[in-house]
Structure 1
């Protein structure tokens, strides 16, 4: 299995408020995380980095995940804990008032992947049936699309596209979506912040993922495309490729 995390502040923003990485448990299982912070000057990067570090610390102590139920419970319990940590920090530190972060996190085993998310950072899967979005954005615009009030085309340039309905750390409790999917040889996962998904089309993403480029080149090409198309936001992504021929633990 191969994985890579890449982040870039983009062409406009002064700071990168995204955080992410791929981490190992004691048994060698992987946890992939992308978090897109928000909440004003220097507060967004505090939120996303705190969430990342806390989950990394807990994952590195985690026992082997054998079932989807175990994976789903681990993600729910620990993301709930992180939510309270962020919320309490924002109340104690005035400069962090109102801070929060999106999160998309995937526990990746040899049989399945379990994905939890809050906000509009996304997870996609590319497998033998094609390319599909696993997560559904917790955003105002997506709700308008779901209710039929606007079309997907209208959503692309909607003036309130950045309004989130859920975020990690902004309330005492938060609802998250958790889903388990099969993850088999030849499959690829893509986790990303909206700095990528808002700029690069699904067709372009597929063309890059199915290319025979090295995984590092695929990731860097996606970031370059998002910047070429304006780069107004921070850009972060993780690609995980289920390659049975790669050495165990081959994470970049």
Structure 2
């Protein structure tokens, strides 16, 4: 599984509150983008805690024997990470109210289990085209789903950044999970809204479809987001299933 990850402060923000990580073990790959939020750098703390805690949990080499194992693992570990971030915010006044979005992919040689909380996204490019796998947990997305506003109106809605769900802000949190098959040359894109708000789906599809160099593609997409304003931190992970992979448990 080829992969690349990037995180950029953008052109406006003074600090980068995004954190990213890609971790490998015998079970496969765990990839995570976390977009932190909170005053006085607390967003940094929330996103970094999330990434570092997941890294430690993944290093325990869980046995992932199928999609149900992957979904169970993510469900349980998200609860643990949420509790850790929430308890830290309670015991450190400067971190009160902090939290983070997450989008994660647990990838084996045959499938990927996608989990997300908030408005960080996962896209899949495969033989069927380019599709957004996740649905934002945001106020504007609920308004779109209910037919109150159009998708185009959502792009400029004054409450566009209002989240309905985030990790670490409450004692309990719900994660949405979806498992998909992974075939040769399939590409997963995980990103914070600093990318998806600034680069259209059409451009994302074009760049992922026409380049075989993940590193160059990732760098170009970050540059595009900056060229289009770069008001937010920009983070992404690209994962591509390669034809030379062997064995059911390898990645």
Compared CA separation, residues 246 and 214, structure 1 to 2 (3 A): farther
Deviations 1:97-122 (A, max 9, x none): 00000001110011100011000000
Cα pair 2:27 2:61 within 8 Å, conserved: no
Q: Which runs of 5+ in 2 are unaligned?
A: none
> In structure 1, how many angstroms separate the alpha carbons of the residues matched to 2:111 and 2:219?
26
> In structure 1, how many angstroms separate the alpha carbons of the residues matched to 2:169 and 2:153?
28
Cα pair 1:29 1:64 within 8 Å, conserved: no
Aligned equivalent of 1:140:
139
- CA drift at 1:243: 1.2
The worse-fitting range, judged by mean Cα deviation, of 29-38 and 237-246 is 237-246
> In structure 1, how many angstroms separate the alpha carbons of the residues matched to 2:30 and 2:149?
36
Cα pair 2:17 2:44 within 8 Å, conserved: yes
Deviations 1:194-245 (A, max 9, x none): 0000000011001110123411000000000000000000000000011123
Q: Which runs of 5+ in 1 are unaligned?
A: none
Instruction: Report SS of the residue matched to 1:210.
Output: helix
TM-score (norm: length of structure 1)? 0.96
Cα pair 2:140 2:157 within 8 Å, conserved: yes
Cα pair 1:145 1:151 within 8 Å, conserved: yes
- CA drift at 1:28: 5.4
Cα pair 1:2 1:246 within 8 Å, conserved: no
The alignment of Structure 1 onto Structure 2 pairs a total of residues equal to 248
Aligned equivalent of 2:18:
18
- CA drift at 1:176: 1.0
Aligned equivalent of 1:111:
110
Aligned equivalent of 1:54:
53
Instruction: Please list, as runs of the form range in 1=range in 2, the aligned pairs for 1:25-64 lying within 5 A after superposition.
Output: 25=25, 27=26, 29-64=28-63
Instruction: Report SS of the residue matched to 1:85.
Output: helix
Aligned equivalent of 2:3:
3
Output the aligned Cα RMSD: 1.4
> In structure 2, how many angstroms separate the alpha carbons of the residues matched to 1:194 and 1:246?
31
Instruction: Please list, as runs of the form range in 1=range in 2, the aligned pairs for 1:84-95 lying within 5 A after superposition.
Output: 84-95=83-94
